[in-house]
Structure 1
Amino acid sequence: MTRFAEPAAGAAPTTAVPTERRAKTRHYVMTPPRHFAVDYAINPWMDTANPVDTTVAMAQWHQLRDIYLQMGHTVDLVEPAPGLPDMVYAANGGLIIDGTAVVARFKYAQRKQESALYADWLRSRGYQPVHTRHVNEGQGDLLPVGGTILAGSGFRTDPRAHGQIAEIFGRPVVSLELVDPRFYHLDTALAVLDDETIAYYPPAFTYASRAHLETLFPQAILVDSADAYVFGLNSVSDGLHVVHPAAAVGFAEQLSDAGFEPIGVDLSELLKGGGSVKCCTLEVYS
Structure 2
Amino acid sequence: MTVTAGPAVETLVLPKATTRRYVMCAPKYFTVEYSINPWMDPGTPVDVDLAMTQWEALKRTYERLGHRVEVVEPQPGLPDMVFAANSATVLGGRVLGARFRAPQRAAEAEHFRRWFTTRGYRNLVMPSRINEAEGDFAWTGAVLLAGSGFRTDPEAHAEAQEVLGVPVVSLRLVDPRYYHLDTSLFVLTCDERAQIAYYPQAFSAGSRRVLERMFPDAVIADAADAACLGLNGVSDGRHVVLPMEATGLAAQLVDRGYEPILLDISELRKSGGGPKCCTLELHA
Which residue is equivalent to 2:204? Answer: 206
- Could you give the per-residue CA deviations for residues 191-232 of structure 1, whole angstroms, max 9, x where no partner exists? 100021000000000000000000000000000000100000
Which residue is equivalent to 1:253? Answer: 251
Q: RCO (CA 8 Å, sep 6+): is it higher in 1 or 2?
A: 1
- Does 1:147 pair with 2:145? no
The structure with the largest alpha-carbon Rg is 2
Partners of 1:83 and 1:39 in 2: CA distance = 10
Contact 1:19 1:258 in 2 (8 A): no
Which residue is equivalent to 2:45? Answer: 51
Contact 2:26 2:82 in 1 (8 A): yes
State the number of aligned residues: 270
User: Which of 216, 230, 233 is the equivalent residue of 1:232?
Assistant: 230
Partners of 2:133 and 2:116 in 1: CA distance = 13
5+ residue gaps, structure 2: 1-11
**1:169 CA displacement:** 1.3
Contact 2:171 2:207 in 1 (8 A): yes
Which residue is equivalent to 1:270? Answer: 268
Partners of 1:263 and 1:83 in 2: CA distance = 32
Partners of 1:127 and 1:146 in 2: CA distance = 21
Which residue is equivalent to 1:11? Answer: none
Partners of 2:13 and 2:230 in 1: CA distance = 22
Partners of 1:138 and 1:271 in 2: CA distance = 19
Which residue is equivalent to 1:284? Answer: 282
Identity %: 53
Contact 2:197 2:220 in 1 (8 A): yes
- Could you give the per-residue CA deviations for residues 167-186 of structure 1, whole angstroms, max 9, x where no partner exists? 11111100000000000000
User: Which of 104, 111, 126 is the equivalent residue of 1:110?
Assistant: 104
Which residue is equivalent to 1:14? Answer: none
TM-score, normalization: structure 1?
0.93
Partners of 2:245 and 2:110 in 1: CA distance = 34
Partners of 1:124 and 1:131 in 2: CA distance = 15
Give the letter for the 1:42 counterpart: I
User: Higher mean Cα deviation, 135-144 or 123-132?
Assistant: 123-132
Which residue is equivalent to 1:136? Answer: 131
Give the letter for the 2:103 counterpart: A
5+ residue gaps, structure 1: 1-17
The correspondence of residues 142-221 of structure 1 with structure 2, limited to 5 A, is 142-195=137-190, 196-221=194-219
Give the letter for the 2:214 counterpart: L
- Does 1:37 pair with 2:31? yes
Contact 2:89 2:97 in 1 (8 A): yes
Which residue is equivalent to 2:5? Answer: none
Partners of 1:209 and 1:225 in 2: CA distance = 18
User: Higher mean Cα deviation, 75-84 or 19-28?
Assistant: 19-28
- Does 1:122 pair with 2:112? no
- Could you give the per-residue CA deviations for residues 101-138 of structure 1, whole angstroms, max 9, x where no partner exists? 01100001000000000000000111132111110001
Structure 1 segments of 4+ aligned residues over 3 angstroms from their partners: none
Partners of 1:169 and 1:273 in 2: CA distance = 29
User: Which of 58, 71, 74 is the equivalent residue of 1:77?
Assistant: 71
**1:20 CA displacement:** 2.0
Give the letter for the 2:136 counterpart: D
**1:67 CA displacement:** 0.3
Partners of 2:263 and 2:125 in 1: CA distance = 33
- Does 1:88 pair with 2:91? no
TM-score, normalization: structure 2?
0.94
Contact 2:96 2:164 in 1 (8 A): no
